[in-house]
Amino acid sequence: MSDDPALHSRRPLTLRFDIPISRTREFWDGLRDGRFITTKCKNCGNVSFPPQADCPNCMKGEFEWVDLGRDAKLLTFTYVQVTPASFVENDPYIIAIGELAKGLKVLAWLEGIGPEDAKLGMAMRIEFRASKEGNPYYVFVKA
């Protein structure tokens, strides 16, 4: 172990994330309107989640929007007790992967229950939220 004293910073940090959404804007507007939608490639029919700016299958960029519904089943989850810096204001939380009826997988927080009540295969529903900055996002809740 070194005899050098450790350096500490006690300054609050502000994190800012700029996420380009110009080609997936419809998805974010859909969340605000209570719709959970994603991109379906007009060329090859590939449906992806999250919505894509270019098709990961054929690389074309022409899409239609399809409704995914809001029902999912719990595939797996993790309980985060030591929160990362960007979520330091949050209580411990559950991050889950849910499978939608169409087979697509979605990553989101699972709200409203503790890890002892999260059961693999249980029915969940997607609900919409807004961040304190007013940005829409989605979570799972137990159905």
For Zn ion, the binding residues (CB under 5 A) are 41, 43-44, 46, 55, 57-58
* Residue 82: CB minimum distance to Zn ion, A: 40
Beta carbon nearer to Zn ion, 57 or 135: 57
* Residue 56: CB minimum distance to Zn ion, A: 8
* Residue 40: CB minimum distance to Zn ion, A: 9
State yes or no: cis peptide before 50, omega within 30 of 0.
Answer: yes
Tokens matching residue 130: 């807004």
Angle at 133 between CA 130 and CA 139, to 5 degrees: 25
Tokens matching residue 16: 């800012």
Beta carbon nearer to Zn ion, 43 or 76: 43
Q: How many CB atoms lie within 10 A of CB 24?
A: 19
* Residue 39: CB minimum distance to Zn ion, A: 9
3-state secondary structure of 87: helix
Beta carbon nearer to Zn ion, 53 or 143: 53
Tokens matching residue 142: 């137990």
Place of tokens 């060329």: 43
Beta carbon nearer to Zn ion, 39 or 126: 39
